[in-house]
Structure 1
Amino acid sequence: MRRGTNGFDFFSAGELPAPSLPADEVAAIVRDHWGLDVALEPLGSQQDQNFLARPSAGGEPLGVVKITNPAFTAAELAAQDEASARIATASPGFRIATTSIAHDGGARSVVADTSEGALAIRLLEYLPGGTLHGDTYLSPRVLARMGELAAHASLALAGLEHPGLDRILQWDLRHADRVVELLAPHHPDPAKRTQVTDAATRAWATVQALAADLPVQAVHLDLTDDNVVCTTDRGIRLPDGMIDFGDVTASWAVSELAITISSILHHAGAEPVSVLPAVRAFHALRPLSSAEVAALWPLVVLRGAVLVVSGEHQVQIDGGDNAYAADGIAREWRIFEQAVSVPSEVMTGVIAAALGVPAAGAVEAAGAGSRDAAGSAGRSSTRTGAATRIETTPGFDPARAARLDVSITSDEVDAGAWLDPELEQRLALAALDAGASAAWLERGTPRLSESRIRSTTSSATVPTGIDVWFAESQHLAATGDARLVVEGADGATILDGTVPARTRTRVRLEAAHGPRVPHLVRPEVAPGWLGLTEDPGAAMGLGEGGLDTPLRGYSTDGGDPGLDTPLRGYSTDGGDPGLDTPLRGYSTSGGSDAAALVARRDRAFAEVQEHYYDAPPRIERGWREHLVGTDGRVYLDMVNNVTPLGHGHPKLAAAVAKQLRTLNTNSRFNYGAVVEFSERLAALAPDPLDTVFLVNSGSEATDLAIRVALAATGRRDVVALLEAYHGWTYASDAVSTSTADNPNALATRPDWVHALDAPNPFRGVHRGADAARYAPEAADRIRALAADGTAPAAFIAETFYGNAGGIPLPDGYLAEVYAAVRETGGLAIADEVQAGYGRLGQWFWGFEQQGVVPDVIAVAKAAGNGYPLGAVITTREIAARFRTQGYFFSSTGGSPASSVAGMAVLDAFHDEGLQRNALEIGAHLKAALEALATRHPLIGAVHGLGLYLGVEFVRDRATLEPATEETAAICDRLLELGVIMQPTGDHQNVLKVKPPLCLDRSSADHFVALLDRVLDEGW
């Protein structure tokens, strides 16, 4: 215990009621000493009193008036000024609140005689922008910035020596044990009181074991969400400054980070792993030592405990008059709850993995608390011993045990089988019936069978032990340091280790003095939990010459995930999938499978071929409207119009696989599939369209459609629409004018392309009822081109304005424009790449919604459900004119496999009623989204029909200023909640709601509920 402190000593001061001066009295003091006539607005503080000062006549704030608790000395206030000045000098890129100087050049603070005695009063600089106060969601980018701010403060204050730092604060975590002991008796809830004191005792034991290795320096000690200020840039708020230096003192340097990240935990959607962006950002600037890594989460627990007991105590001291303290009770309890929701040993392992530090050393240090608290300090580690063996009943042959596979790459989980709760049991019994001595599921490999759809968090997919079904009853016993845990399928412990035959048994090897370990854990915390276990499969000899090849996911030794326990999936030579092209998961060293793959992609894949999201998950499986990451996380796919049937369609897969086994060649050979598919596709088009070209993609389809029109008319000019995207080939790119896809699109169009105004009735040049002007203006432009000697060969447009966000063209638009282009001798091309194939619900083709028939249809995407297939449909006469250009040939366009894929898609559309589903679910979804618009001003409009919708975000419904950055952030937040969504439109401010047409009502409702949540909680 420290004694002889020159400054404030919390343990000697007794109760600290906050000053409570009337606002008019404070205003008079400011007028007398600073010469300012101000109006004051109360601000919250637990032990001081704060006011926001504005000119009494109104206007921008002049500063913050801080009435310091009388318990604090002048030297302490001087230390605070020095600390703020040092940080401001060291970090010029951040805004730092420093004490203002009086207008007359006098003192930086005054000691005024008040109705409550002599009080130190300062006028602090006001930093505009607001703080992160409240419980709204904080994005990883915001959290990373908080970590950066804490690191900058830590670096700047590292050398500060000042007598005003010699103080003992209740917030100084070096005294957390004493604070909790002193204040816990005041907590009114006995159960919560016990929970807090028990957790604090354990955490304190861990920290004390590390204290000698924790550096001490000057710290801000209160860089919380309430004390960072933000700048809003294009709708996105980011912390860029810090305020309130009232708690500056000397303490453990790592306390700076611990206090910052603890303040994150009460925000919407926050959980312990949410703090990792802040920890990484801090570590990148101010590296944490191994001891600091081990102490960090126990300090977070202690901070939570101190907040809980201090908050309750302060409310009692102030008699309910301190609204700030009273309002914080629930917030502080949530911080504590989140801090203890995962054992400190586990979070230490997770943090160590995230930072790439040796996990073993960090986990051992974190485990010291539980060992010391239990009186077992003599043991050196909570990790399990490496020599543990599990003895089985004599006669059991592990070499005849069959390893089961329900991982993401397993054939056994195809066609949605992973959703069957009996899958594992059925596979195990089948293996035993086939003569295996046991069937088992290995430790560490994420199990898709444990994943759940439509979940806002990841499922507990990672096993910390094995599941085993023995052919004969077995008695299990362990030799070594580890704690053997044997459980039945219901999770009940089998105390004597005797397990019955043909029954699921869960077996784990846990650290003898560590926490009890769940059998299944979420991927985000798996590195920490796995670091506290051994592999019971290896301990009983399973996997050593067993009946199959392992499909592994994690390493527990902190090694490179590329070098250890790979999660394997496929090979490029047709050989053993265990030998080539491993599909790896992630390891406890913090290696990210998804991030590693992006790095490989960047090295080998052209940069211009972008990927969704800055930090995308690795997706290797899909089923219906769901996509699955390699960790078993299931995402709702609300954007993938490439796959109208949904992902992993069994009949499509079977049809293509069968065809690939028999024949796949080019369409110059005579085979039935290309003929039958062409006949069926032509039959879906209105008369007189009866002739089909087959290609590989939408870009090729629109390119070919343009070339056909040029050949048929003998002309070179084409009319297109602004804000449109048609493809990447020369011709399709030439008529693409979307600046979102190509920022230089308008400046680089060839002279034979003539662009018309985008007929957007929401934000185009003509809006609302005035949108009727688009068609006659377009028709006049086409006629003018003809009059000038550049009559167009064709007019090309999406029949439903998809690239702009699923916006219907104005009524009658295509009829008038098609008439004008035909009048001048040109052709009408309908780009149905997105709208075609029933996506609008009521119509199979988008042009049907406009009541027209084009001369040429270009279609793709839906035609192959992701298999490379596109088509151009036109008349026999127009197709014949293209013959003058020579032969047309596509190596795989119309190949047997492509044609079979196309027919399987058409069969599924008919058999599964996908167009009707698009109509019914689309109407339900649009109505629900429109209801959201009545509650959230950010939604400017909901566009579209069927399952071809767009939710347009605007910052102002009058000016229609696009909310571009907000839209991107909303998509990122939706990804965290398990929804795949992307922006579209030239301003990238429209949600592209174009899911697989098999979307069901539950998934539609889930999407709407999560979008509502994001708009409520923030992004």
Structure 2
Amino acid sequence: MINGFDPSTVDRLPAQEQELVARRRALLGPSYKLFYEHPLHVVRGEGVWLYDPDGNAYLDVYNNVPSVGHCHPRVVEAIAQQSAILNTHTRYLHESILKYSEDLLATYPDEIGNVMYTCTGSEAVDLALRIARYYTGGTGIIVTANAYHGLTTAVAEISPSMGPNVPVGQHVYVVEAPDEYRSEGDDIGAIFAQRVEDAIQKMRRHGIKFAAFIADGIFSTDGILTDPPGFLKSPVDVVHAAGGLYIADEVQPGFGRTGTHWWGFQRHGIVPDLAVMGKPMGNGMPIAGVAAKPEVLERFGTDIRYFNTFGANTVSIAAAQAVLDVIKDEKLMENAVEIGDYMTAGMKRLQQKYETIGAVRGAGLFLGMEFVTDRKSKTPNGKLSLGVVNGLREKRILISASSSYGHVLKIRPPLPFTAANADTFLCGLDEVLADLS
């Protein structure tokens, strides 16, 4: 795991933290991992800040789940009010799910007309796979080489980033993600389209019918590969020509994070057949969903009964409605553009100062800084990236990394991030890079 705590170093921690780590392992088992060489103990969150037991504030430049900020008052109030009135499932008539669905679908292109709800992004991807396979009659899925889409059994099989102990499914074909930084000026849309075409042909040679290609529009776990906008159009054309569906994973780029659009796929001028949503939808409350073209969902919905007891429960819907309203009312998409551009400019200034920064890229408030051993070879430098992540943690600035090498800083703060917050991050980053250099 990138940026994971090494349990063998637990004796280096203060006594109280050693005890917490030991109790955690004894109670939760070894699968639960911690971030950072020095794990962080948090007890409170507010806005873009997290606080430890001593009241020290840590600037959150990483957590996209509280998309409108930790413990946003309007979201907290909506949850509290609704939980005091009613919390139940979707098999009763209720206005709130309909109002929210109308508002949510209004952010999508007109071709997307239905939405189904789950509790988690993993469940949403699992459901999208079921729908795609039922619609196409195929089983073959194409994913990128370091993709992460979730952790149910079916979804773990399409998540190569989970490592060699979680093998991809037999009908899952892996393609390299498009990388403009290493493209030598070639058309990465055409290159990526050919990779998808080759995977489809390999499926056919093995008697596998193609069902779907799934990717998020910024390839967040492949290294935050955002540019140029539009490069996904040609691959999606190939998918449709082969009778498959495109599933847009909007768990990370969605809900206005790119700033210019509500959804990551919109930067590429395409309309997916299915789009999955998750983490930021309820600012941490358990709500997720699948938005769909009605014609894709029709036969599945008619033939197969779907019910999720807690999916779109009235309290989670209240939280989701508050999140959507806050994004609009507080103009957080506009803020994502303004502060994203501000941070990009600052990171590019650092790129001029440090030769080990190979590339800076991003969209809105989802940014990446790529570290290399040298700019000529462009060899990924995961060791430096990890050093930066842990150096920033010691300065009470929280960040993590991406890509199969872990060499790209993954920068995705809550959407209310300010220029002052950005300056804190950029100054801390400069200081850490100076120390490591």
- Per-residue CA deviation, residues 544-584 of structure 1 (Å, 9 max, x unaligned), is xxxxxxxxxxxxxxxxxxxxxxxxxxxxxxxxxxxxxxxxx
The alignment status of 1:758 with 2:181, answered yes or no, reads no
Q: CA deviation at 1:606?
A: 2.9
Distance 2:123 2:382 in 1: 31
Residue 65 of structure 2 is aligned with which of 626, 635, 642? 642
Distance 1:961 1:940 in 2: 9
* Preserved contact between residue 805 and residue 951 of structure 1 (Cα < 8 Å): no
* Preserved contact between residue 387 and residue 436 of structure 2 (Cα < 8 Å): no
Aligned pairs for 1:985-1004 (under 5 A) are 985-1004=403-422
Structure 2 unmatched runs, 5+: 1-8
- Per-residue CA deviation, residues 400-425 of structure 1 (Å, 9 max, x unaligned), is xxxxxxxxxxxxxxxxxxxxxxxxxx
Aligned AA for 1:952?
E
Q: CA deviation at 1:976?
A: 1.3
Residue 188 of structure 2 is aligned with which of 757, 760, 771? 771
Q: CA deviation at 1:884?
A: 5.6
Q: CA deviation at 1:713?
A: 1.3
Distance 2:342 2:164 in 1: 36
Distance 1:651 1:681 in 2: 18
Residue 667 of structure 1 is aligned with which of 90, 96, 99? 90
Q: Which has the higher contact order (CA 8 A, sep 6+)?
A: 2
Q: CA deviation at 1:630?
A: 0.7
* Preserved contact between residue 59 and residue 421 of structure 2 (Cα < 8 Å): yes
Distance 2:334 2:294 in 1: 31
The alignment status of 1:938 with 2:356, answered yes or no, reads yes
Q: CA deviation at 1:811?
A: 4.8
Query: Which residue of structure 2 lines up, in the alignment, with residue 723 of structure 1?
Result: 146
The alignment status of 1:923 with 2:344, answered yes or no, reads no
Distance 1:647 1:865 in 2: 8
Distance 2:131 2:47 in 1: 36
Query: Which residue of structure 1 lines up, in the alignment, with residue 201 of structure 2?
Result: 784
Q: Tell me the secondary structure at the aligned position of residue 934 of structure 1.
A: helix
Aligned pairs for 1:22-33 (under 5 A) are none
* Preserved contact between residue 772 and residue 811 of structure 1 (Cα < 8 Å): no
Distance 1:861 1:987 in 2: 25
Q: Which moved more, 1:854-863 or 1:914-923?
A: 854-863
* Preserved contact between residue 791 and residue 824 of structure 1 (Cα < 8 Å): no
* Preserved contact between residue 785 and residue 791 of structure 1 (Cα < 8 Å): no
Query: Which residue of structure 2 lines up, in the alignment, with residue 855 of structure 1?
Result: 273
Q: CA deviation at 1:596?
A: 2.5
Residue 163 of structure 2 is aligned with which of 731, 734, 742? 742
Distance 1:687 1:841 in 2: 20
Distance 1:787 1:811, change over 3 A: farther
Aligned pairs for 1:415-426 (under 5 A) are none
Aligned AA for 2:294?
R
Q: Tell me the secondary structure at the aligned position of residue 686 of structure 1.
A: coil
Distance 2:193 2:403 in 1: 24
Distance 1:768 1:604, change over 3 A: farther
Distance 1:790 1:812 in 2: 29
Aligned AA for 2:306?
F
Q: Tell me the secondary structure at the aligned position of residue 862 of structure 1.
A: helix
Q: CA deviation at 1:982?
A: 1.2
Structure label with greater radius of gyration: 1
Q: CA deviation at 1:611?
A: 1.4
Distance 1:813 1:728 in 2: 28
Query: Which residue of structure 2 lines up, in the alignment, with residue 896 of structure 1?
Result: 314
* Preserved contact between residue 774 and residue 813 of structure 1 (Cα < 8 Å): no
Q: Tell me the secondary structure at the aligned position of residue 988 of structure 1.
A: coil
* Preserved contact between residue 711 and residue 884 of structure 1 (Cα < 8 Å): no
Query: Which residue of structure 1 lines up, in the alignment, with residue 289 of structure 2?
Result: 871
* Preserved contact between residue 775 and residue 812 of structure 1 (Cα < 8 Å): no
Distance 1:744 1:798 in 2: 24
Q: CA deviation at 1:699?
A: 1.2
Q: CA deviation at 1:768?
A: 3.7
Distance 1:811 1:852 in 2: 11
Distance 1:888 1:653, change over 3 A: same
Q: CA deviation at 1:854?
A: 0.7
Query: Which residue of structure 2 lines up, in the alignment, with residue 806 of structure 1?
Result: 224
The alignment status of 1:846 with 2:267, answered yes or no, reads no
Q: CA deviation at 1:726?
A: 0.8
Query: Which residue of structure 2 lines up, in the alignment, with residue 651 of structure 1?
Result: 74
The alignment status of 1:825 with 2:231, answered yes or no, reads no
Distance 1:786 1:936 in 2: 44
Q: Tell me the secondary structure at the aligned position of residue 210 of structure 2.
A: coil
Distance 2:243 2:380 in 1: 39
- Per-residue CA deviation, residues 245-299 of structure 1 (Å, 9 max, x unaligned), is xxxxxxxxxxxxxxxxxxxxxxxxxxxxxxxx9xx98xxxxxxxxxxxxxxxxxx
Query: Which residue of structure 2 lines up, in the alignment, with residue 232 of structure 1?
Result: none
- Per-residue CA deviation, residues 38-62 of structure 1 (Å, 9 max, x unaligned), is xxxxxxxxxxxxxxxxxxxxxxxxx
Q: CA deviation at 1:783?
A: 5.2
Distance 1:886 1:716 in 2: 18
Aligned AA for 1:976?
E
Distance 2:165 2:230 in 1: 31
Distance 2:435 2:199 in 1: 49
Distance 1:810 1:731, change over 3 A: farther
Aligned AA for 2:245?
L
- Per-residue CA deviation, residues 315-343 of structure 1 (Å, 9 max, x unaligned), is xxxxxxxxxxxxxxxxxxxxxxxxxxxxx
Q: CA deviation at 1:925?
A: 0.2
Give the TM-score of the pair, scaled to structure 1: 0.41
Distance 1:811 1:969 in 2: 31
Query: Which residue of structure 2 lines up, in the alignment, with residue 415 of structure 1?
Result: none
Distance 1:925 1:761 in 2: 20
Distance 1:794 1:653 in 2: 38
Q: CA deviation at 1:617?
A: 2.4
Q: Which moved more, 1:940-949 or 1:671-680?
A: 671-680
Distance 1:964 1:743, change over 3 A: farther
**How many residue pairs were aligned?**
428
Distance 2:212 2:222 in 1: 22
Q: CA deviation at 1:731?
A: 2.2
Q: CA deviation at 1:657?
A: 0.9
Distance 1:813 1:999 in 2: 28
Q: Tell me the secondary structure at the aligned position of residue 89 of structure 2.
A: coil
Distance 1:870 1:785 in 2: 33
Q: Tell me the secondary structure at the aligned position of residue 201 of structure 2.
A: helix
Aligned pairs for 1:37-48 (under 5 A) are none
Q: Which moved more, 1:964-973 or 1:794-803?
A: 964-973
* Preserved contact between residue 695 and residue 892 of structure 1 (Cα < 8 Å): yes
Q: CA deviation at 1:743?
A: 3.8
* Preserved contact between residue 137 and residue 209 of structure 2 (Cα < 8 Å): no
* Preserved contact between residue 719 and residue 795 of structure 1 (Cα < 8 Å): yes
Q: Tell me the secondary structure at the aligned position of residue 647 of structure 1.
A: coil
- Per-residue CA deviation, residues 142-167 of structure 1 (Å, 9 max, x unaligned), is xxx9xxxxxxxxxxxxxxxxxxxxxx
Q: CA deviation at 1:609?
A: 2.0
Distance 2:280 2:399 in 1: 19
Residue 977 of structure 1 is aligned with which of 395, 398, 406? 395
Structure 1 unmatched runs, 5+: 1-144, 146-276, 282-353, 355-589
- Per-residue CA deviation, residues 727-766 of structure 1 (Å, 9 max, x unaligned), is 111222111122xx32445xx2222111222112224xx4
Q: CA deviation at 1:885?
A: 5.5
Aligned AA for 1:761?
E
Query: Which residue of structure 2 lines up, in the alignment, with residue 1015 of structure 1?
Result: 433
* Preserved contact between residue 149 and residue 159 of structure 2 (Cα < 8 Å): yes
Distance 1:792 1:706, change over 3 A: same
Q: Tell me the secondary structure at the aligned position of residue 146 of structure 2.
A: coil
The alignment status of 1:677 with 2:100, answered yes or no, reads yes
Q: CA deviation at 1:995?
A: 0.4
Percent of aligned pairs sharing the same letter: 36
Query: Which residue of structure 1 lines up, in the alignment, with residue 51 of structure 2?
Result: 628
Query: Which residue of structure 2 lines up, in the alignment, with residue 706 of structure 1?
Result: 129
* Preserved contact between residue 147 and residue 221 of structure 2 (Cα < 8 Å): yes
Residue 955 of structure 1 is aligned with which of 359, 363, 373? 373
Aligned AA for 2:175?
L
Distance 1:742 1:910, change over 3 A: same
Give the TM-score of the pair, scaled to structure 2: 0.93
Query: Which residue of structure 2 lines up, in the alignment, with residue 157 of structure 1?
Result: none
